[in-house]
A and B are shown apart, each in its own frame.
Chain A
Amino acid sequence: MSFLVGENMTCGYGGADILHACTLGVDPGEIAVVVGPNGAGKSTAMKAMFGMLHLREGRVMLDGVDISALAPQERVIHGMGFVPQNNNVFTGMTVEENLEMGAFIRRDDIAATMEQVFGLFPILREKRKQPAGELSGGQRQQVAVGRALMTQPKILMLDEPTAGVSPIVMDELFDRIIEVARTGIAILMVEQNAKQALNIADKGFVLVQGRNAYKDTGAALMANAEVRRAFLGG
């Protein structure tokens, strides 16, 4: 069993179930990528794993402990970080304040962690006094990832971190994400750019209509003819 795993998750937004016995997992130092068509329930699965939705069935396990009953804030304290798909920065606050707020649960000195984030994303150091809402799409995503890293999480969950950025910036971001994974953090990531994402993935999940359609190593999924035809555009 993986370090973080959502097992047989079945849930929705009050109406019909969106996820049906969906299972996702990731281990330290590993990049796990979730792909699938629009509306497949990828974001829903991330929210479910972070405790933002009530699970009707199934459970979420962290390091062998059932955390299904924990609120999102408590999961943050237990070492999980989440970058949501939308509205993932405090637009009215400066880059520096965004990072400070990311570290809100910490009472120790956060200067070193902020240095690490600036080391990872040098542009943020330059723009640290600027409101995050004034930054470009790519820079905002860097703020969003940086904010989530401020708690020094063991697991980083990213929902489409490259949405709306140029291909060059996307490659940049992927490189940074690989760098983060090398430090031993587990990364569970939803991606629209399935091909590029599976290329850097240790593990891949293909979701269709709230169900696991395929689950394999990134390379194996890339090699799978069916997956290529249906989800990777040939």
Chain B
Amino acid sequence: MTDLLNALVIIANFIIVPGLAYGSQLALGALGVTLVFGVLRFSNIAHGETMAAGAMFTMLFTWLLQSMGIGFGPLPTALLALPFGIGAAMVLCLATDRAVYGYYRRVRASPAIYIIVSVGVMFVYNGLIRFVVGPQDRVITDGQRFIMKARAFKQATGLNEGLAIKTTQAVSVGCAVLAVGLLFWFLNRTRTGKSMRAYSDNEDLALLSGINPERVVLITWLITAALATLAGTLYGLDKSFRPFVYMQLLLPIFAAAIVGGFGSPLGAIAGGFVIAFSELTVTFAYKRVLAYLLPDSMAPSTLVQLLSTDYKIAVSFAILVIVLLIKPTGLFGQRTA
């Protein structure tokens, strides 16, 4: 019995808790991608860099707050800086839209052109970030590190294995739940939110109903900037802030959005968790879990790891290919990606 519990604790500690946190971060990222796709009708390759830029702005404001001696008790100061970071990211997105995307909307450019344009935007953001804060790795997490320490868990339960929950993991899940709740309330209950769904559903009919497309576009960028900054900051808090990891996050984020069904917010969330848990379960070494569950004679001598963590990016890619082959509309989508 304790063997079973110990095995479960290992799984909770190394898969479930990190998976929930990482899944929340991916879901928030995928929501931004899916919103831009649904409303503006293009795959925004620059979304990873938008996350990086939002996280950078938040980091700058965090430093400012820290230098003024303002903290957030046990929680990371970055949470206090978040609204300012979001504001700055909104300005960046709107400026980009005015300077770049607005033109392609007027000439009714094809989706392929938009993708190339967003690649260009990605490089510009990328350069901007390196220019401002440089490429190095930074830890911006402060406050209390753990809400549950492995040792405390062991002492409390008497088990061999510990379960640790980092503050940043709990904050990731909490913020994601809050943000998603707000987003769904906005999309389903408010007039403006409904007009966004209407525009995404049927652009021509939305125009015939008197919905102003420029306003819908504006609101979409504001929400996208907020989601990207939140996702980027949470990821940066949980791991560390390193500008170029956000470009690597692009694949799992797009995979999440596509698995869920491009353009479907619910799908983006589901997709985020599917990708996060797949990555973790496939790259996890089950040796210790099996050692608890199997009789000693059968205990594995190898790591029992399906795939080395170095290849975790391949998991997103494989899932992406499988979904596109079997159900191109994704789990919840109507449109093919």
Taking Cβ atoms with an 8 Å cutoff, the residues of A that contact B are 50, 72-73, 76-77, 82, 84, 87-93, 97, 100-102, 104-105, 133, 147, 151
Is there an interface contact between A84 and B209, defined as CB atoms closer than 8 Å? no
Is there an interface contact between A82 and B198, defined as CB atoms closer than 8 Å? no
**What's the nearest-Cβ distance from chain A to residue B3, in Å?**
49
Which of B135-143, B200-208, B278-286, B314-322 sits within the interface?
A: B200-208
- Residues in A whose Cβ lies below 8 Å from that of B110: none
B212 within 8 A of A: yes
Is there an interface contact between A73 and B195, defined as CB atoms closer than 8 Å? no
When C-beta atoms are compared, the residue in chain A nearest to B195 turns out to be: A104
Is there an interface contact between A104 and B210, defined as CB atoms closer than 8 Å? yes
- Residues in B whose Cβ lies below 8 Å from that of A102: 209
B199-243 interface (Cβ within 8 A of A)? 201-202, 204-212
Interface string of B184-201 (1 = CB under 8 A from A): 000000010011011001
- Residues in B whose Cβ lies below 8 Å from that of A93: 194, 197-198, 201
B334 within 8 A of A: yes
Classify chain B's interface size: 10 to 19
- Residues in A whose Cβ lies below 8 Å from that of B194: 93, 97, 100-101
Is there an interface contact between A84 and B195, defined as CB atoms closer than 8 Å? no
Our pick among B198, B212, B334 for the contact of A101 (Cβ within 8 Å) is: B198
B125-151 interface (Cβ within 8 A of A)? none
Is there an interface contact between A73 and B202, defined as CB atoms closer than 8 Å? no
Is there an interface contact between B197 and A147, defined as CB atoms closer than 8 Å? no
- Residues in A whose Cβ lies below 8 Å from that of B197: 90, 92-93, 97
Is there an interface contact between B205 and A76, defined as CB atoms closer than 8 Å? no
- Residues in A whose Cβ lies below 8 Å from that of B334: 91-92, 133
- Residues in A whose Cβ lies below 8 Å from that of B198: 90, 93, 97, 101, 104
Most chain A CB atoms below 10 A, which of B194, B197, B202:
B202
**What's the nearest-Cβ distance from chain A to residue B97, in Å?**
21
Is there an interface contact between B204 and A84, defined as CB atoms closer than 8 Å? yes
**What's the nearest-Cβ distance from chain A to residue B193, in Å?**
11
**What's the nearest-Cβ distance from chain B to residue A84, in Å?**
7
Known pairs A97-B194, A101-B194, A104-B195; A73 contacts B210 (CB<8 A): yes
Is there an interface contact between B205 and A104, defined as CB atoms closer than 8 Å? no
Bound form: Cα–Cα A76–B210 in Å: 7
Bound form: Cα–Cα A208–B300 in Å: 81
When C-beta atoms are compared, the residue in chain B nearest to A91 turns out to be: B201
Bound form: Cα–Cα A76–B204 in Å: 13
**What's the nearest-Cβ distance from chain B to residue A104, in Å?**
5
Bound form: Cα–Cα A35–B211 in Å: 31
Bound form: Cα–Cα A84–B206 in Å: 12
- Residues in B whose Cβ lies below 8 Å from that of A101: 194-195, 198, 206, 209, 211
- Residues in A whose Cβ lies below 8 Å from that of B195: 101, 104
**What's the nearest-Cβ distance from chain B to residue A89, in Å?**
7
Known pairs A92-B334, A101-B194; A147 contacts B201 (CB<8 A): no
When C-beta atoms are compared, the residue in chain A nearest to B203 turns out to be: A87
Is there an interface contact between A84 and B205, defined as CB atoms closer than 8 Å? yes
Is there an interface contact between B211 and A104, defined as CB atoms closer than 8 Å? yes
Known pairs A93-B194, A93-B198, A104-B195; A73 contacts B204 (CB<8 A): no
**What's the nearest-Cβ distance from chain B to residue A136, in Å?**
18
8 closest A-B pairs (Cβ-Cβ)? A105-B210, A90-B201, A76-B210, A101-B198, A92-B201, A73-B210, A104-B209, A104-B210
- Residues in A whose Cβ lies below 8 Å from that of B209: 76, 101-102, 104-105, 147
- Residues in B whose Cβ lies below 8 Å from that of A88: 205
- Residues in B whose Cβ lies below 8 Å from that of A92: 197, 201, 334
- Residues in A whose Cβ lies below 8 Å from that of B206: 90, 101
Bound form: Cα–Cα A147–B201 in Å: 15
Is there an interface contact between A87 and B202, defined as CB atoms closer than 8 Å? yes
Bound form: Cα–Cα A92–B204 in Å: 15
Is there an interface contact between B210 and A151, defined as CB atoms closer than 8 Å? yes
Sampled A-B contacts (9; CB under 8 Å):
A73-B208, A73-B211, A76-B209, A87-B204, A90-B197, A91-B334, A104-B191, A104-B211, A105-B209
